[in-house]
Structure 1
Amino acid sequence: MGRSRSMKWLACLLAISVCATAALAAEATVPVTKVTAFSSGVAYFEHNGKVTGNADVSLKFKTDGMSDMLKSLVVLDLGDGTVSSVNYSSSEPLTRALKSFGIDISAAPTLGQLLQQVRGAEVAIAAPEKITGKILGVETKTRHIVASDTVIQEELLTLLTPEGMKTIPLESVRSIALTNEKLNSELNKALALLVESRDTDSKSVQLNFVGQGERPVRIGYIAEAPVWKTSYRLVLSDEKKEEATLQGWAIVENTSDYDWESVDLTLVSGRPISFVEDLYTPLYLDRPVVQTERYASLRPRTYEDGIKADKNILALEADAEGGGLGGPMADARGERRKAATSNMLRQNRALAAAPGAPPAAKAMEQLERAAAEVLDRGVSAVATAQAVGELFSYHIKTPVTLPRRKSAMLPIVNQAVKARKISIYNPGTLPTNPLNGVWLINSTPSSLLAGPVTVFEEGTYAGDAQIGNFPPGDKRLLSFAVDLKVTVDPSANTTQHLAAAKIVRGVLTISHRTEFVQAYLVKNKAVAERVVLIEHPFHADRKLIEPAEPLEKTPAFYRFEVKVPAEKTGKFEVKEERTDTQAIGIMPCDIGQLQAYATNGQIPEKVRTALAEAIKRKNALAVAERELNELQQRISNLRREQKDIRDNMAALDRKSQGYERFEKKLLDSETQIETLQKQLDDKREGVTKLRKDLEDYLGQLNVE
């Protein structure tokens, strides 16, 4: 019984949902004809085709790619037609979206509940005879079946027909059709949304073209796409030819929802600025809530009988008193309204001035401009691409056919290039063995994108290498295996000596020169000559002495090329030097350190003589300063003694012998201080003169 009722409910619902689709625009198919894939993780897709009359074109996009579509979609009607609109499903929650339709199916209503929602609507039913009428309601009654002694719930539909009210059990209804086209449309839209919501990974976008006759249309957009990759095969030939065959492949994935059939494919290596902005999620702004003003109603008034009065006075009193429709009360209400309006305008201006909110006038201009463009041909591009940095492309000459969710390898390079075999030694990579490598020159007309290189030699696999972006005519060094037939024994030696010394205006400048000698002992155990490329570390503070010039220089290494005969051992040396300069102020320098420089035989004699004179003067100044300090100390000691004497005198009677004795001692101490103070002044003048003489001497001292 339950299954039978479910099948009837489904049949009725499908019958209800049938609407007049003949009035809708015809569906047109516009296939993908052009794809431009970028190495920055996006691709440009272009659809080209023809439409006839009023036509709809449906495209599918991944849900997380809707923002890219909204940001970049370009739709062109290349004939006399126009693009009327682009419709797509909102990202609102399904329940909320279903509730927005005239018939709410968000709670999966039963047939009775569904009909209850459209009370008053006219329906045509078959039960099994055909009946047309307006729905009065649906009621549920309990019925007892005596034969099976069971109780069932029965739904009864009541219709108002031209013959009167009729009640039909829903169990006997075979089909139901809504005669109201608007309700039919609402139900169809709700069901379509329900079906579409099951596909959570993709969304449908409908493009509406309006026009007459057959005409071409074009649709373009940017979407996220896998980064296309490259891999290479390098086949080395005989060493004497210095040539190799380079074969390059592009790895492309079609992760879209469309099959590529004879697509014009271009692969672009570059880094256009690309970002994702969420344009798909509905955005709501908080608006201020303004309370509606409410006014108390006036109470009815009973007017007493009056007497005649002067008309002019009566008029003046009426103006002065006012009433419910004018006067002060109306003015007050007017002021309140004015204040409320002013407040609302201020709030709106504040919202319009909020970050990210364009001015209203500017927004209206943009809307008017956009509307005009849609009426013309749809949205059109307003920016032109500009090459920035390394930008190059591969255009696949043969149209590409690639089903969706499939990948392909497409040949982009297959030709001979210049290549020379070499052994590459870098002590930081391997301390004793070089690597088998090759000097590779890009003699192709195309730039080569970075990727792995598989090397083949003598008909077999030789190793793997990695290559960076490779412009035409450029040279690259590749290494692919360890060269076990060549060993390298590196050794280093460092020596240092004083290179120069001079004095300029009291500053002693000493230069030390350090010499670095790096030796490479290269042993070739092969039966053929080996060309070894030695990568010697580059130091910015060192100067290359020998050899005078390297073969090449990189930010981190010098490169030297040496040839080692078969089964021989050769030695290669790299000499560098570094000069370290030390500036020493003679005035503040310690005498002991100056003495060491003055007795150093590597320093020129003139400089040593000048240092000896400076040391002599510094010694004299030091002696005078020491004597000055001693005088200051003696005076300080005497003043402390005077303080003690005064403290003792304060405790004694002025007429006592002890007081007289301390008084005499105090006078003697004062005499000594006066004598020492005079000596101190003389000594201070002497120190000042010695210091000035030393400074003048050093200031004029220039010796090399």
Structure 2
Amino acid sequence: MELPIKDIVLYKTGIGYFQRKGTIKGNSLKLNFRKEMMNDILATLTILTTNSQVTGVSYEGQDIDLQTALEDVLIKLSPQSTFLTLLKQVVGCKISIDISSTKYEGTLLGIQELPIVIEENIVNQQNLVLQKDDDGTILNLPILEIRNFKMLDDKMQGELEYFLQKIYESKKENNKTLTIFFDNVPSDGDEVEINYLQEIPAWKCSYRLVFTEEQVMIQGWSMVDNILDEDWINVNLSLIAGLPISFIYDLYSPNWIKRPEVERKDKYDITVTEFEEAKEEYEKMDKKKAARPPPSPPMAAPAPGAGKFYARAVSPKIADIVEEEAFDMDDEFSMERTSSSVKVTTEGEAEGDFFQYRIGVPITVSRNQSSLVPILQTYVKGQKISVYNEQARKNNPMLTVELENTSDLTLEEGPISLYEGARFTGEAMLPFMKKGEMRRIPYAIDLGVSVEKKLKSYSAKTHSIKIQNRGVYTYNFYIKEFTYTLINKTQDEEKEVIVEHPIESNYELFDTIEPFEKTKNFYRFKLKIDPKKKDELIIKTRYLSSSITNYEYVNKSFIENLLKLKLINETENDFLLKMIKLMHKKNETMSDLNALKSDKNNIFNDQSRLRQNLKSLKATSSETRLRDKYISKLEDEEDKLERIEDAIKSLEIKAIELEEKIKDLIKNHVIEE
């Protein structure tokens, strides 16, 4: 019994939804699947019945070595002498045979060879020894004359069927059989629906775009591959544009869980022990027994079947299920045919981020075959326009079609071939386009237009200044000037060209015509060029850079330059002049202070040297005079050191006062940053 495929839904993620429908007239149904498909089948199989119930599903497990599987089988046949081998293995079993239109039933006692004479030659003839069931007669029957043979022993018949089944399975290692068992199937059969997902090549699509004098026609085809081992005959096909999450989970392989192993205890520390009886204990036990309440009445017998577990899975009935599909097509629209060249009956419906193409007529695809199925043919809005992008091609723009999806369908991504009448003009990739979306699709190089791009970079004069706590900030524009020269080399065709100019970080447009369109990475400018003419597009961008001149480096020439450029006013000029004077005094004070500190260090070093020399002198007359000289010099340097210390303290106080004056000046004239 087979249940044909009626509906197929193919997804872009490499999976397919299959629906089988039909009438069953037995208690089981077998389906064959490839081994690699079993995980998907076990994860997604759904069975719906009308009147019967599903009692279980069995399937062939992982591959087992044939020799291992047949190790304990009672019947094993040899391809060379199958009949004789079978007879030898059923000795002792009840059999039925036909010889010369006579039927014999009985127990097979064995096989023996008897010599006979054939044309004066003695040959051994193999005979079957049978004990008849009706009268116990033992017969010696020639095996060569047996026409029919049947085993009457059910167990041995089952062993034979098991052997043959395993031999068959070994010949189809990549195919697995799944058996569905039913109960309460009506005599006239029952309607059954089986649904599941399985891996299958993702569907693909391609398009053809034809330019006529007045209109643009688009034609779409889908490509589906039937890799299954059965034909798709008159199936309803739907194609889903979208990316639902799908994965493979290993349900087919046996899941062995490693358990901890506990060591068996073989010895126990138990010895024979005897306890002395106590008369008082027996007396207490007798009293407790007498005080017990009467026993409860016996428990009632369970209801019939109450203690049984039924493993029957009652499946829902189709009649009781709300007729609602994942993509409800009751409100589907029918796309009108725009041309009689290809009959397109595709219907589409958007569902969130998914879109379904439902082929309006059943299709047939033979096993291991592929098919082109038309999904779209209609007129859309489109016009040709050239687009220049230096990254795509340096000297020429690209011919593009500005295509708007005015159809009622979402267009899935795919290659597209373009034609002008009967002339092929190029190929491109059509991006994913929803209804109403517009995209420019490049398909050829426009050799009728040449483009030259030049760049000139320079820095403008100081744009502005800002006086802050740390110093004077000057702001300058770094300018890039791009010149695009476009030449229309055609004789009689006006060219409309879009120039894509890259957007640079921190740069802004200025003194340039407004772009008609802006993307994340490009400005877009549109130009029209007459035949045999040229045009220029000048694009200026600028970047505002800043630098700081600390107050200690500000001088009169710097201030005069700012005045000349009219970047500062009189108040700011007075502030900067006062700052110059204070900074000059501060620098002089710090210079004097550093000089005194240097003298102080020199005296310290000289005194250290003199003290070392004094330590090495002895108590002689000549060295006494030298000691007096060193001591006198140390006294003079000590006086000088005191004067330097006083001067340093005075200059440090002056430096602090100047620093405070500078801070006050900045505070009174500078706006906080």
CA distance in 2, matches of 1:80, 1:203: 28
The aligned counterpart of 1:462 is 425
- Report deviation, 1:68: 0.9
Determine helix, strand or coil for the equivalent of 1:192. helix
* CA shift in 2, pair 1:515/1:692, >3 Å: same
- Report deviation, 1:682: 2.1
- Report deviation, 1:545: 3.4
Determine helix, strand or coil for the equivalent of 2:38. helix
The aligned counterpart of 2:230 is 258
CA distance in 2, matches of 1:671, 1:157: 146
Q: Superposed, which structure 2 residues align to 1:80-479 within 5 Å?
A: 80-95=51-66, 98=69, 102-103=73-74, 122=93, 124=95, 179-213=152-186, 214-238=189-213, 241=214, 243-295=215-267, 314-315=276-277, 373=313, 390-479=353-442
- The amino acid of 1:204's aligned partner reads T
My pick for the range that moved more, 675-684 or 222-231, is 675-684
1:566 corresponds, among 515, 525, 531, to 531
Determine helix, strand or coil for the equivalent of 1:455. strand
- The amino acid of 2:256's aligned partner reads Y
1:73 aligns with 2:45: yes
CA distance in 2, matches of 1:115, 1:465: 68
**Is contact 2:54–2:313 with CA below 8 Å preserved after alignment?**
no
- Report deviation, 1:662: 3.1
* CA shift in 2, pair 1:445/1:558, >3 Å: same
1:668 corresponds, among 619, 622, 636, to 636
The aligned counterpart of 1:360 is none
1:646 corresponds, among 574, 587, 611, to 611
1:631-654 deviation per Cα after TM superposition (whole angstroms, max 9, x unaligned): 222222222222222322233346
Unaligned residue ranges in structure 2 (runs of 5+): 114-123, 282-307, 328-349
What's the TM-score once normalised by structure 1's chain length?
Answer: 0.73
CA distance in 1, matches of 2:555, 2:59: 86
CA distance in 1, matches of 2:87, 2:557: 114
1:396-439 deviation per Cα after TM superposition (whole angstroms, max 9, x unaligned): 00111111111111111111111112222222222222222221
My pick for the range that moved more, 632-641 or 653-662, is 653-662
- The amino acid of 1:677's aligned partner reads E
Determine helix, strand or coil for the equivalent of 2:661. helix
The aligned counterpart of 1:20 is none
My pick for the range that moved more, 114-123 or 420-429, is 114-123
- The amino acid of 1:626's aligned partner reads S
- The amino acid of 2:51's aligned partner reads D
CA distance in 2, matches of 1:696, 1:32: 92
- The amino acid of 1:284's aligned partner reads W
Unaligned residue ranges in structure 1 (runs of 5+): 1-27, 142-151, 304-312, 320-367
CA distance in 2, matches of 1:393, 1:83: 32
Q: Superposed, which structure 2 residues align to 1:47-58 within 5 Å?
A: 47-52=20-25, 54-58=26-30
Determine helix, strand or coil for the equivalent of 2:393. coil
* CA shift in 2, pair 1:181/1:661, >3 Å: farther
The aligned counterpart of 1:502 is 466
- Report deviation, 1:603: 6.4
CA distance in 2, matches of 1:37, 1:183: 47
- Report deviation, 1:660: 3.7
1:646-696 deviation per Cα after TM superposition (whole angstroms, max 9, x unaligned): 322233346861444333333333333232222222222222222333233
**Is contact 1:83–1:377 with CA below 8 Å preserved after alignment?**
no
**Is contact 2:63–2:173 with CA below 8 Å preserved after alignment?**
no
CA distance in 2, matches of 1:46, 1:660: 122
The aligned counterpart of 1:543 is 508
**Is contact 2:480–2:542 with CA below 8 Å preserved after alignment?**
yes
CA distance in 1, matches of 2:315, 2:89: 38
CA distance in 2, matches of 1:67, 1:457: 50
**Is contact 1:635–1:676 with CA below 8 Å preserved after alignment?**
yes
**Is contact 1:85–1:374 with CA below 8 Å preserved after alignment?**
no
Determine helix, strand or coil for the equivalent of 2:31. strand
Determine helix, strand or coil for the equivalent of 1:692. helix
Determine helix, strand or coil for the equivalent of 1:196. helix
1:519 aligns with 2:487: no
- The amino acid of 1:215's aligned partner reads D
1:554 corresponds, among 504, 516, 519, to 519
The aligned counterpart of 1:5 is none
CA distance in 2, matches of 1:169, 1:666: 148
- The amino acid of 1:649's aligned partner reads L
CA distance in 2, matches of 1:29, 1:247: 38
1:695 corresponds, among 658, 663, 667, to 663
Determine helix, strand or coil for the equivalent of 2:433. coil
- Report deviation, 1:47: 0.5
CA distance in 2, matches of 1:632, 1:35: 96
The aligned counterpart of 1:34 is 7
**Is contact 1:597–1:603 with CA below 8 Å preserved after alignment?**
no
CA distance in 2, matches of 1:369, 1:618: 102
Determine helix, strand or coil for the equivalent of 2:411. coil
- The amino acid of 1:445's aligned partner reads D
The aligned counterpart of 2:550 is 586
* CA shift in 2, pair 1:283/1:503, >3 Å: same
* CA shift in 2, pair 1:115/1:677, >3 Å: farther
CA distance in 2, matches of 1:245, 1:494: 47
- Report deviation, 1:561: 1.8
**Is contact 2:555–2:580 with CA below 8 Å preserved after alignment?**
no
* CA shift in 2, pair 1:83/1:702, >3 Å: same
The structure in which a higher percent of residues are helix is: 1
